[in-house]
Amino acid sequence: MEALDGNAIGGLLLEVFGVEMTTATGTCDHCGATGVVAEFAVYRQAPGTVVRCPACEYVLMVFSQLHGRYCVDLGGLRTLAAAG
């Protein structure tokens, strides 16, 4: 399965966070690599969206939707900061 990148979930992130997040910076809790969300690896196959660290492939974020509600797991991120 080939990865997309964080650009592809710009709409989803805007819906969840309310601000532009593809330019946000995140740090992987596993390897410590820091990068912009647009460069994260994204897998969109159902039943959810999985976002992985482009350096070590650790799962950074998971988004799933059921009955119109989002379930969001950001447990793989040490930090996530929207661009000013």
Partner 1 sequence: MEGTAVRGRLTWQVAVVDQVVDETPQVRTIHLKVPEWAGHRAGQHLDVRLTAEDGYRAERSYSIASAPGEPVAITVERLDDGEVSPYLTEELRAGDELELRGPIGGYFVWDAGDGGPLMLLAGGSGIVPLRSILRHRERIGSRVPARLLYSSRTLADVIYHSELSHYASGTEVIYTLTRQQPPGWTGHAGRVDAKLLGDVAWPAGTAPLAYVCGPTSFVETVATGLVGLGYPAGRVKTERFGATGGR
Q: Which residues bind partner 1 (CB under 8 A)?
A: 2-8, 10-11, 14-15, 18-20, 22-23, 36-39, 83
- Report which residue type is found at 68: G
Q: Please, which residues bridge with residue 41 across strands? A: 5, 52
What distance, in Å, lies between the first and last C-alpha atoms of the chain?
A: 34
**How far apart are CB 23 and partner 1 at their closest, in Å?**
4
Contact between 16 and 70 (Cβ < 8 Å):
yes
Sole residue written with tokens 């950001």: 74
Nearer to partner 1, 39 or 75 (CB): 39
Q: How far is the CB of 54 from partner 1 (least distance, A)?
A: 10
Q: Is the CB of 10 or the CB of 30 nearer to partner 1?
A: 10
